[in-house]
Amino acid sequence: MSAPPEVVLHRHWLWANRFRTLFDEELKKGQTDWSKSVFADSGLIFMCLWYSFLYVTIEGWRELKLSEPTIDALLASDKVDLLRRLRNATCHFQEDFVDQRFFDFMADEDTAEWTRALNKEFGRFFLDWYKRNSPSATS
C-alpha cells in the first residue's frame, strides 16, 4: 500500500509519542525508580523506546529532506547525536550490560526539555501537514 512519505514518517512519530504517553503515565504513578538500571524499570524502558523512535523520526525527516524552522533549529543541537547513540544502545545488541550511551544522553543538560520540545514540534508539524493535505483543504 502506497502512502505519502510524510504519512509513513508520521507513523514513526506516532509510535514515539505512544511511548511518551506510557512514560508520562509511569511518571504520574510516581513509581519510576531512577536508581534502578535502565533495564529494570518500565518507566525507563518506555523513555528509552520513546527516545529511540523519536530518533527514527529524525532519520526519516532528514532522509525526506523535510524542513520547518522550529524543528530544524532543534535538530541543529548536539543532542541529536547523543539521541542517536542512545537509540543504538537501546535497539542494537550490545555485549556490555550497562552501556554508557544511556547515561551520556540523560546526563547532558536540558535533554529532557529538548526531547519534549522536539516531540511536540513534530506533532504540530504533522497536524499542520494533514490540514494542508486533507481532501477538504484542496477543494
pTM given for the model: 0.86
The 10s digit of each residue's pLDDT in 89-115 is 887 777 776 676 777 777 888 999 999
pLDDT at 139 over 70: no
Cβ neighbours around 119 below 10 Å, total: 20
CA distance 85 to 78: 12
CA distances from 2 to 24, 70, 132 (A): 33, 29, 19
The confidence score (pLDDT) of residue 75 equals 98
DSSP reduced 3-state for 82 = helix
**37: which 3 cell numbers?**
538500571
Helices and strands, number each (H, E), in the chain: 7, 0
18 burial level (CB within 10 Å; 0-12, 13-18, 19+)? middle
Least confident of 15-19, 41-45, 94-98: 94-98
The confidence score (pLDDT) of residue 93 equals 78
The 10s digit of each residue's pLDDT in 46-69 is 999 999 999 999 999 999 999 999
Return the domain boundaries, the chain: 5-138
The confidence score (pLDDT) of residue 106 equals 78
Q: Residue 83: pLDDT band by 50, 70, 90 thresholds? A: very high
